Chains A and B, each alone.
Chain A
Amino acid sequence: MQIPFISSRKPAAPQQEDFLFGLSDGFPIALGYIPVSFAFGLLAVKGGLPVWVATLISLTNLTSAGQFAGTNLILAGASLVEITFTTLIINLRYLLMSLSLSQKLAPGLTLKERSLMAFGITDETFAVASVERAEISFPYMLGLITGPYLGWGTGTLLGGLVCTLLPASLQNALGITLYAMFIALVVPPAKKSRAISLIVAVAVGLSSALAWLPGLRFLSEGWRITIATILACLFGAACFPRKEVD
């Protein structure tokens, strides 16, 4: 449990402060989303969807792999069942993230708040929120998802309108921002905890093995991440069960 933050300097605005913390944590995510969503907008419009539909997909789905796959199937004229099922399978990993996040939510959240927060769970917002916060409040999560949501939507709209790629140099440079942010999130706790560093090492080893070993490479990236995560966490829970201290 975190001790409630009480300060004589800003006694009236812990909510606002939480929102601002979230906004600032969301900035690098938003930055990283721009080239990806730009490419999505571009591909969807080149494939034949109107710009507004491409943007609508981004604003209602807010997923990368899921909506790329779903949109490809729409463009290929696949059946609704096929589109829905494929998207669902790709998005199943959010179950695990949402489950993990549910254990860290601040007490007393309303149904409306929970439903809204859940909409903004992505691989990136999930990772940032759970590593940066001992307890996740509504204003923090709202701040955190604002930038990425706007970045994802705007990137799609611009990609669809411009219909040509961002300069390669810019795409490449922005391409690394999400991963750099992941590293910034995981290295400090791994430095302090042997359990975390070993679990990260196992996860990295498994995802590399799944990506590179012949015979295993048929798995999509989403499945590789999910399988590596589950196995690494089973290993962690078995070898380093946590005593309740937090």
Chain B
Amino acid sequence: MAKTLLAVVLMALVSYLPRVLPVVFLRKKIESPFFRSFLYYVPYAVLGAMTFPAILKATGDTASALAGFAIALILAFFEKGLITVALFAALAVYLFQFFLG
């Protein structure tokens, strides 16, 4: 048990360090326009890369995932809020699997 707890502490440490070091030590604005642009685009690129193709495997079968994906795209296109899009996509998956699964 002692070794397990030590492992948990070490895992916590290496999970925290990459998150905290830049936020605490990088107090200045980065000057380089190239690097600033790079960092500005990071969230959008992360969102794209995280969503696809992983979304296809999010619901147990590709067909219902595509249904949820489509609903999310449509609602997002009309700029609905995060909660609305998330809940309606979940509902779409649920109904799709209930009636067609």
Binds B, one of A10-18, A154-162, A193-201: A193-201
| Chain A residue at smallest Cβ distance from B10 | A84
190-238 of chain A: CB within 8 A of chain B: 190-191, 195-196, 199-204, 206-208, 211-212, 221, 224-225, 228-229, 232-234, 236-238
Partner-B contacts on A (CB < 8 A) = 24-25, 27-28, 31-32, 49, 53, 56-57, 60-63, 66-67, 70, 73-74, 80, 83-84, 87-88, 91-103, 105, 111, 114-115, 117-119, 121, 123, 126-128, 130-131, 168-191, 195-196, 199-204, 206-208, 211-212, 221, 224-225, 228-229, 232-234, 236-238, 240-242, 244
Q: Is the CB–CB distance between B22 and A99 below 8 Å?
A: yes
B6 to chain A: which residues have CB within 8 Å?
Answer: 80
Q: Is the CB–CB distance between A200 and B8 below 8 Å?
A: no
A197 to B92, CA, bound (A): 26
Q: Is the CB–CB distance between A240 and B37 below 8 Å?
A: yes
| Chain A residue at smallest Cβ distance from B90 | A173
Q: Is the CB–CB distance between B77 and A191 below 8 Å?
A: yes
Quote the shortest CB–CB distance from A20 to chain B (angstroms). 13
- The secondary structure that dominates the B interface is helix
A120 to B100, CA, bound (A): 39
63-85 of chain B: CB within 8 A of chain A: 64-65, 68-69, 71-73, 75-77, 79-85
Quote the shortest CB–CB distance from B24 to chain A (angstroms). 5
Most buried by B among A171, A173, A191: A173
A to B CB contacts below 8 Å, 21 in the list = A66-B14, A80-B10, A83-B11, A93-B18, A94-B18, A98-B22, A102-B22, A126-B43, A169-B97, A170-B94, A172-B59, A175-B59, A176-B65, A180-B88, A182-B47, A184-B76, A200-B44, A200-B48, A203-B49, A207-B50, A212-B53
Partner of B38, one of A169, A176, A225, A234: A234
Given contacts A61-B12, A87-B15, A98-B22, A183 and B73 within 8 Å (CB-CB): yes
Quote the shortest CB–CB distance from A134 to chain B (angstroms). 11
Partner of B48, one of A27, A31, A173, A203: A203
Q: Is the CB–CB distance between B94 and A199 below 8 Å?
A: no
